[in-house]
């Protein structure tokens, strides 16, 4: 449709890019070539850096229109080059896909066992667990998501919610199976406790 009507297709990969989903960019899963890709966050592994990558025909800007006081920080750029090398050398794209598939399979089982887990979705190590009050009405379980998050935090797992009632699982690309299993045990126990509270 974008090609047909001459629309720009822009992929916002600020959170999903740089290997998070098991590919360099999430859009690569669909073999789509966008006109513009925006990336940041993981690009320099915590140092302030972002990039807008676009087709040459779109980057013919007037002089000064893309200037920035702090743009192109040399230290952040050097860090980004190292980040990209580490991802390649340590095969972290493959690890993200492998660990992500394992986590998704585990969470699908949890979904079947617990009334408050309404949906599990994601790719690689960018996973969302949506909580509901019950599966019949599918009413958003914002309180359930928050309770699971806090129980996990008290046991050493830092998770955040997103949207209305979804818990995000976005571990480091380098996470090991041992840490995945330890984390899932904590998350599973928290879900079980909140599920019992909700159905009581």
For 31-43, how does the pLDDT look when each residue is reduced to its tens digit (9 = 90+)?
999 999 999 999 9
CA-only gyration radius of the chain, Å: 20
Of these ranges, 2-6, 60-64, 68-72, the one predicted with the greatest mean pLDDT is 2-6
> Which residues of the chain form CATH 3.90.1150.10?
92-199
Helices (H) and strands (E) counted in the chain, each on its own, are 5, 7
> Which residues of the chain form CATH 3.40.640.10?
2-89
pLDDT tens-digit series, residues 101-145: 999 999 999 999 999 999 999 999 999 999 999 999 999 999 999
Confidence of residue 77 (pLDDT cuts 50, 70, 90): very high
What's the pLDDT score for residue 66? 78
Q: What is the pTM of this model?
A: 0.91
Task: With a cut of 90, say whether residue 64 has pLDDT above it.
Answer: no
Looking at the domain covering 2-89, what would its CATH class be? alpha beta
Task: Look up the CATH number of domain 92-199.
Answer: 3.90.1150.10
**Average pLDDT of the chain to the nearest whole number:** 95
Confidence of residue 199 (pLDDT cuts 50, 70, 90): confident
- Residue pair 161/145 in contact (Cβ under 8 Å)? The answer is yes
Strands 36-39 and 10-12, how do they pair? parallel
| Tokens (6 digits) for 145 | 């998501």
């Amino acid at each position: 449709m974008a090609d047909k009507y001459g629309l720009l297709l822009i992929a916002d990969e600020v959170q999903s890019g740089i290997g998070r989903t098991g590919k360099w960019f999430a859009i690569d899963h669909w073999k789509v070539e966008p006109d513009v890709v925006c990336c940041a966050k993981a690009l320099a592994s915590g140092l302030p850096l972002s990039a807008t990558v676009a087709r040459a025909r779109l980057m013919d800007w007037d002089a000064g229109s893309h200037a920035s006081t702090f743009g192109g920080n040399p230290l952040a750029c050097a860090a980004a080059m190292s980040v990209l090398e580490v991802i390649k050398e340590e095969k972290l794209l493959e690890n993200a896909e492998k660990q992500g598939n394992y986590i998704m399979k585990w969470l699908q089982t949890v979904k079947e066992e617990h009334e408050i887990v309404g949906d599990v979705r994601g790719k690689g190590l960018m996973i969302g667990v949506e909580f509901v009050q019950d599966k019949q009405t599918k009413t958003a379980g914002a309180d359930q998501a928050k309770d699971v998050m806090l129980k996990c935090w008290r046991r050493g797992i830092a998770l955040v919610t997103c949207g209305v009632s979804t818990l995000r699982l976005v571990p480091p690309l380098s996470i090991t199976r041992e840490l995945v299993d330890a984390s899932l045990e904590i998350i599973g126990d928290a879900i079980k406790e909140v599920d019992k509270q909700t159905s009581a």
